[in-house]
Structure 1
């Protein structure tokens, strides 16, 4: 058990309100006056979620994107944001961060409605927090997956993980992979369209395999992921090759911020139609069955699970 999951287990004793969903989701679902409000709060920390060398504009963008990705997974439309900002002591750096933050808010139509600013001790790691609020007509959460459901993902996986390695100078590769790491895109419209037809949904922030395991645990089922069907971009395949190793790397790297969802097989055509209308890439990568835990396979043959399933604090 990671430090994060251990700490959350202590907090679950206090999270008795139905909106908390037992702290098994990344967002709370609060019903007020007949409206369903979705609330989420994410923090990004230097040398954990971004590099000191990353452009401040991109860090501001990323703070918005990672929070709105949680709303996307709940099928929510953004209503507003509050930000907690750690002043850097460099007014130009702060200005550039605010510029990127504002561009992202405008791009995803999420107004800033408040927050707080503080000054941390000199030399401490930069960290920023944001609370995002949204409204949803359907909010699937993670706990509704059922045996027989298909397991799907949106987009391509592994681009951000490769982009981080490029940004660190570990390997050379195309700038579009670096952009995938620095400027993720929350799948808001896709999440809203999918929400009425899926049984469970979450965003992939820490890696496909670790997040599929979390979804399975929340639903009390087993998830089977087919490595051959893990969707890869041309840029990633051009860099790393089309191999089992590439698929495993893509399935265990984080920062993708794509959607992972389950749905009954009768919904396949409706889901494909939504993807066609939005020009969005989706891929069925496995299925849900009775039992518990996570299974990884290649062409139907079992594969050993990687030592690390993804990122855990």
Structure 2
């Protein structure tokens, strides 16, 4: 039985079977040592998940672990980086082995799937929170950023949009629907698929990219700001799942609004020149990931929504961690 921080590390976090050749020293010393291949950058991202903000305190720990790592892997995907190493800082109210066991099993299962090794971190006592720092590798000169969009580029998203918001609404008991439908949407909230293969395939094709963590209307504005362009989104082209439409009772406008504002989707949004449409199709064919063209990059400095060629005045906002505090 784990009695202290060092027991937790020994029994739960030093047990990953995956051992990458580029890790010279991992858990057990003051620092980890890793070997970076020549002509590569290290892409680094840190995110925290806090009970009461990102997940309910009584949520399934296996789902919490998956969501924590998947959301961080999504940041690497957005940069076109290949996952390599991860550090975990875990704060627990008490040593709860019934919580730790499924958390670690789920965490390592996903980590092994993406060939990412846990190389260090910290455990401490306090309100339940999880902080991950993921590191990946990207060839020099090939990283995807938010600042390269050009006038005339197409705007794309992967997957479907809005399901995560629908799942969260069900988790918070703010909506009721068929049990099977609810199960699907709740799982999509917790278990997004990091688009690593898509990000890697977009190197040399996409002009700008990011992942959708705060909602399309919020995140696309980052490309607008960093690239100094305008973007038009055609709401009729938003990819909507059959489950989202069923959740919305067939109300397509409501589904479109959820698709635009839903946070924690962890799909990729990217821009690419029209001339590279065929190259894009060929590059993503092996990923088996759906992607949709939803708009166009224009001259200017704003984000606008269109429907059948006419401007919309919907007042939508994305996810805000300092406003929404009960999920």
User: If the length of structure 2 is used for normalisation, what is the TM-score?
Assistant: 0.82
CA contact (8 A) 2:233 2:295 kept: yes
Q: Which runs of 5+ in 2 are unaligned?
A: 1-35, 323-327
Q: Secondary structure at the match of 1:196?
A: coil
Asked if residue 94 in structure 1 is aligned to residue 84 in structure 2, the reply is: no
Deviation at 1:40, TM superposition (A): 0.6
Residue number in structure 2 paired with 1:214 = 222
Deviation at 1:91, TM superposition (A): 2.3
Q: Which runs of 5+ in 1 are unaligned?
A: 1-30
CA contact (8 A) 1:210 1:311 kept: no
Asked if residue 198 in structure 1 is aligned to residue 202 in structure 2, the reply is: no
Deviation at 1:33, TM superposition (A): 4.9
Residue number in structure 1 paired with 2:62 = 57
Measured against aligned partners, the alpha-carbon deviations of 1:10-33 in whole angstroms (never above 9, x if no partner) come to: xxxxxxxxxxxxxxxxxxxxx985
Measured against aligned partners, the alpha-carbon deviations of 1:255-308 in whole angstroms (never above 9, x if no partner) come to: 110000001000111212233332210000001111102101111110014242
Residue number in structure 2 paired with 1:232 = 240
State which structure, 1 or 2, has the greater radius of gyration over its C-alpha atoms. Answer: 2
Asked if residue 176 in structure 1 is aligned to residue 184 in structure 2, the reply is: yes
CA contact (8 A) 1:209 1:310 kept: no
Q: Secondary structure at the match of 1:140?
A: coil
Asked if residue 129 in structure 1 is aligned to residue 135 in structure 2, the reply is: no
CA contact (8 A) 1:253 1:311 kept: no
Residue number in structure 1 paired with 2:110 = 104
Equivalent residues in 2 for 1:1-313, closer than 5 Å: 33-89=38-94, 90-120=96-126, 124=127, 126-137=128-139, 138-173=142-177, 174=181, 175-240=183-248, 241-311=250-320, 313=322
Deviation at 1:310, TM superposition (A): 3.8
Deviation at 1:210, TM superposition (A): 0.6
CA contact (8 A) 2:257 2:316 kept: no
Q: CA RMSD, aligned part only?
A: 1.5
Q: Secondary structure at the match of 1:195?
A: coil
